[in-house]
Structure 1
Amino acid sequence: MAAAVFNLEEILPYPSSRESCLSNKRKLNVFNLTVYDYRDGQGFCHIWSEVEALRGSNEIVSSVDNYLKRLKEQSIQEVVSFSDSCGGQNRTKNFFSML
């Protein structure tokens, strides 16, 4: 059995700088969904930019599904997962369909 927690980090603007010349420029938004596995104490970061995809339920589902496929390769069949109650992460029909 595995236990994991996952969460979508706040939007990370890139590049990040304290210089004023960059403060008025358009920055690229980068998203990071982190899955922390309590079983072995490892974290997995799924990082993508707004050019590749947005931060909707489909992207969250794809990232969590990728993690679950890794567990399946290790012959783990039971998983307990925790996350906050963000509607885009785990309170959608897409997420339940994936499970």
Structure 2
Amino acid sequence: MSESAVQSAIYALSHQKVAAQDKWSHLLITPERISRLIEVVEHNKDNFQHTNLYLDILYSWRDGDYSNSVKAHNDIWALQSGTIGIATSLLTPEEEQQYIEQHFE
């Protein structure tokens, strides 16, 4: 998995947790996905340019702490030269459930 693919996956996962103007990618957050991304980043730690950023995000998420999701989204968004769709806040539990139902059920 390339560094760009890791960025895209983290970005898509973050959409489940944040309010943003546009969300073009969607991945359901699962423990398996987070663990797999951690494995990929740890395996490529010497080759990836932003290893510490990815691991900070993913370790928090692995531990059930999504409070960094707005920052995570916007940091990845900036790395990908985003111009539309900055995250502005965390979703409420109700908004997150609506997002899940809309995109994954």
- The answer, yes or no, to whether TM exceeds 0.5 is no
Q: Which has more strand, going by share of residues?
A: 1
TM-score by length of 2: 0.28
TM-score by length of 1: 0.29
Q: Which has the higher contact order (CA 8 A, sep 6+)?
A: 2
Please tell me whether Structure 1 or Structure 2 has the larger radius of gyration of its CA atoms: 1
